[in-house]
Amino acid sequence: MELAVWEGLFCLLPSLLVLLLSLGLRWPGLHCRMRSAARAAGCSLWLVICLILELPPDKKRMTQTEEVRPPDVSSGSGQVSGGPRLICKPTALAKYLLQSCSSLTQMRPAPGPRGDPHLQTLSGMLGEGRGGGRSFSREHLLLKDGGVVALDWAVGTVSAGMFWRTGSQWRTEHHLDGKAQGGFTATPPILLIIPQYRGGMTPHVKALCRQAMQRGFYVAVVHSRGTAGCLMTTARLTEFGDPADLEQVLVYVHSRHPSSMLVAVSEGSGSGVLLSYLGESGSGAYLTAAAAVSPVLLGQLWFETEMPPIYRCGLLFPQKLQLSRYKSSFDGILDVDRALRSSSLRDFEESLFCSPEPVPPQSPRPHAQGLSPSAVWALGERAYPAGDWGSYWERNEPLRDADDVAVPVLCIHSSDDPLLPAASSLPISLFQNNPYFLLALTERGGHCGFALEHQEWSDGAQARESGSWSHAAVLEYFRLVADFLRLEERDLLGRKDLVGETSQRSRTNMAAPRRRRAITMRRTRPQAAELNGADSEDRKFAWKRSYTR
């Protein structure tokens, strides 16, 4: 009998422990202590994992940027501790963004393990995004040299309207009020997303697609040749800073949607192509605004910087796997065997795009053998491999033509980014002196992570929907740039009307002065010479000039 009682108690012991634990957790004091103990245990376990993976500990790599705050430009009111800081030249656009863009002045990073830079970076590289359920409609674009790039259009219904494809055209259906969600006009803007250098649909890209569609954008993800299942029809890969393919994509999208505003955002190393395009195109760029999340601003430095083994393998393995699929096609043109044996990003890139051996003058140069003469002429020097590592970066450095950029560019960078060089290497002088470049520098965020704590933003959109501050900041930045340009256009038209009215009055009545109508303007009245010059300028060029005043 006694043995049976003890056996019964022993069987009920797990249930009793669960009951006692549930009762204890109802006590606030014990509940807080249990949470603290679990958090401490999780942090200790994560530190052990970081030591095993040779990951540097989480530390705020604060730099001298705290001492180089541009004059008259601050982080704005309402900035919280650890929030972003905008580094830029004090232009009219920068001041407008500081006054109106709450995302650039407020950021509440995720606490605890969710805010760890390595965890955010690894989850973005290895995890499956919650936007994976979003369906895409792929469209292939044939390039001038015979290559093929892919456009993945995010398909779905947004509150502003819905779009679908019939035949070869995109059709839209909007509400009767003519306004789209997010404050845009009846013609929704088109957001082009440029993934990492070697392609792929990361969880961050999927989440950005979902949130952009909710805010009234039409979204297309640009996949370069041979990436993300895109066809490889030529024996030519895209160099790090070669914007030729992106330019043809923008020409195509603009021709199909001439009334839509085009904006673009890059993820990580995809900034090499985006910034190169903006520099080479100058004022002729098809983009109205651009943004770069965790951008690679100094390409050569990034390729030469040592990174932890897990990140190096995570970046090299997909590229080697992709190259091995087309090994037979590249034999005799690229040094595929050397690239597959490489153990660093520099060795891999150098083996594919650099040819240190001198080529005899009479022999055909490599890389041009598989291209037509017209394609070779169109590509120019890019039809042939670079002579060495230094000459490769002379034509592929993202900021090589930064002085020619005529489109506002917002760069978002975190000081604890484990994939990029230390924040002390950032070209701060570029953002201080160039009116088109803006830098939002945060203390925490990892690489393309910027996870947020669960809260509601002032506009009603919940942060938990995307979980990334950079997504909300980029989309709000695009909306405000569109509003700023609309105000500048209205102001320019008002100045032109003022010039016409003044000249007409001077011709009709030179003697008797008449009482003039009061005119409300945002700036002081310009001189007559300035008005005549502004009247002869193109409207688009005048918008661009407005950024620098």
Q: Which active-site residues does the annotation give?
A: 417, 447
- What angle, 0 to 180 degrees and rounded to 10, lies between the N-to-C axes of helices 469-508 and 528-536? 110
Q: Beta strands 190-194 and 409-414: pairing type?
A: unpaired
Q: What is Dmax (Cα atoms) for the chain?
A: 125
CB atoms within 10 A of CB 369: 11
d(CA 263, CA 192) in angstroms, rounded, equals: 6
For residue 138, the surrounding DSSP H or E stretch is: strand 135-142
C-alpha–C-alpha distance, residues 325 and 328, integer Å = 8
Q: Provide the Cα torsion 165, 212, 466, 126; round to 10°.
A: 60
Count of helices and strands (H, E) across the chain: 18, 12
Cβ–Cβ contacts within 10 Å for residue 17, how many?
Answer: 10
- Cβ–Cβ under 8 Å, residues 288 and 407: yes
**Cβ 296 vs Cβ 268: under 8 Å:** yes
Instruction: Identify which of 157, 162, 223, 155 has the alpha carbon closest to the alpha carbon of residue 193.
Output: 223
In DSSP notation, 183-200 reads S--SS--EEEEE--TT--
Distances, alpha carbon 157 to alpha carbons 253, 259, 397, in Å: 20, 21, 39
Q: Which residues pair with 411 in a beta bridge?
A: 292, 439
Sign of CA dihedral 238, 252, 481, 278: positive
* Spatial separation of the C-alpha atoms in residues 423 and 59, rounded to whole Å: 12
105, 98 contact by CB (below 8 A) = yes
Q: What is the residue-wise DSSP string for 222-288?
A: EE-TTSTT----SS-PPPTT--HHHHHHHHHHHHH-TTS-EEEEEEGGGHHHHHHHHHHHGGG-S-S
All residues at 6 or more sequence positions from 117 whose CB lies less than 8 Å from its CB, including other chains: 58, 414, 416, 417, 418, 444, 445, 446, 447, 449
Q: How far apart are CA 51 and CA 105, in angstroms?
A: 35
Q: How many residues in the chain? A: 549
Burial of 188 (0-12, 13-18, 19+ CB in 10 A): buried
Q: Is 354 helix (H, G, I), strand (E, B) or coil?
A: strand
